[in-house]
Amino acid sequence: MNSAEPKSSTLDLVAAVSSMLTPTERRIAEAVIAEPTLLAFGTVSDLADQVGTSRPSIVRFATKLGFDGYTELQQHVRSDLSHRLSRPSERIRHGGKESVPAKRAIGDAISSVFDAIEGDRVSRLVEPVVAAKKVWILSGETSQAGAHALHSGLSMVRPDVTLLEEHFFVGDLSDAGPEDTAVVFDFQRYRRQVAVAARVLAEAGVTIVAITDSPLSPLVDLADTWCQIEVPPVGPFDSSVPVVAMSELLVAQAAKDLHDAATSRIDRIEALWEATETFL
């Protein structure tokens, strides 16, 4: 569909012919510049209504830009848009073979993390974590590093955080109850293991926060809030970098939400460390 690389931005095209535009065409040009989505999503009629002109004027505008008709112009705009949208992420599993250098892969994955916490998402993810009586962290092998980061970070800002890695027993979860929250890392390879444990927790009334690499994950059903991040391959293994980044952002948000409680807690822990000669 949208495989062709646009030679020039659509706005450039408009600018190129701006001097030889008729009055109504100029109004059209101003409208599409002010609101590019009109061109990408709207029909000829939509544009005509918006500008206050007739449909053929829109078509003629398209031809004046060098296209065969409005359809071609719209395709050009859309391929331009798709390009911008697919740049930061989403192209790793498909188009990108393993020829993608690790640098690009990691960079894109990091972008996907920031995409995932768009808006107030990070707040919604963290909210049950700060409100919970106890916090459980479940992870498989791929997300070990992230789970570790989340555990050590959260432990600093609030009490009762338990990390269950890899080969935990379901019995470990027996204490969990409706006032608790579980953060579950759920990635391709080790999905079933954590899925089973998460189901146990969900049935016990625990609030589930899922960090997953696919919205089709079975965990998403169980989860109260969730977010999706990419896990790119680096060398022969899957990268933990996005998971760690996400974990740290969650901790940062939790620290912000807990504010005074967190800072005093951190101070106490630091003092304890100093006292026990952690610094040698």
Partner DNA sequence: GTGATATTGTAACGATATGAACAGCGCGGA
Partner DNA sequence: TCCGCGCTGTTCATATCGTTACAATATCAC
Other beta carbons within 10 angstroms of residue 78's beta carbon come to 17
154 binds a second copy (CB under 8 A): no
Q: How far is CA 91 from CA 3, 203, 213, 214, in A?
A: 13, 36, 14, 14
Q: Which two three-digit tokens encode residue 64?
A: 């004046």
Q: Footprint of DNA on residues 73-102 (CB under 7 A)?
A: 74
Q: Which of DNA, a second copy, none has residue 257 at its interface (CB below 5 to 8 Å by kind)?
A: none
Closest approach of DNA to the CB of residue 221, in Å: 16
Q: Which residue of 1, 5, 68, 99 would you call a contact of DNA, by CB under 7 A?
A: 68
Our finding on whether 22 is near DNA (CB under 7 A) is yes
User: Is 35 an interacting residue with respect to DNA (CB under 7 A)?
Assistant: no
Checking 77-86 for CB contacts under 8 A at 24+ apart, the result is 77/10, 77/36, 77/39, 77/40, 78/2, 78/40, 79/2, 79/3, 79/4, 79/5, 79/6, 80/6, 80/9, 80/10, 81/36, 81/40, 82/2, 83/2, 83/5, 83/6
**Nearest partner of 82 among 68, 95, 65, 99, judged by Cα:** 95
Cα–Cα distance for residue pair 44/220, rounded to 1 Å = 40
Cα separation of 148 and 137, whole Å?
9
Task: Mark 7-26 with x for binding to a second copy (rule: CB under 8 A) and - for no binding.
Answer: ----xx-xxx-xx------x
Q: In the chain, what's the furthest Cα-to-Cα distance?
A: 81
Fill in the per-residue mask, 43 to 72: x = in contact with a second copy (CB under 8 A), - = not in contact: ---x---x----------------------
- 1 counts as binding a second copy under rule CB under 8 A: yes
The yes or no reply on residue 53 touching DNA (CB under 7 A) is yes
Residue 228 as a binder of DNA (CB under 7 A): the answer is no
Q: How many residues bind a second copy (CB under 8 A)?
A: 92
With CB under 5 to 8 Å by kind, the binding choice for 114 among a second copy, DNA, none is a second copy
Of 159-178, binders to DNA (CB under 7 A) are none
Cβ–Cβ < 8 Å for 177, 205: yes
Which residues, 218 to 237, sit near a second copy by CB under 8 A? 218, 220-221, 226, 228, 234-237
The answer to whether residue 268 forms part of the interface with a second copy (CB under 8 A) is no
Residue 70 interacts with DNA (CB under 7 A): yes or no: yes
Nearer to DNA, 59 or 198 (CB): 59
- Count of residues making up the chain: 280
Structure tokens at 53: 């002109």
Q: Which of residues 77-106 bind a second copy (CB under 8 A)?
A: 78, 81-82, 84-90, 92-94, 100, 102-103, 106
Decide if 159 contacts 180 (C-beta within 8 A): no
Q: Which contiguous run of DSSP H or E holds residue 190?
A: none
Among 30, 35, 46, 248, binds DNA (CB under 7 A): 46
30 belongs to the binding site for DNA (CB under 7 A): no
Residues that bind DNA (CB under 7 A): 22-25, 43-46, 52-57, 59-60, 62-63, 68-72, 74
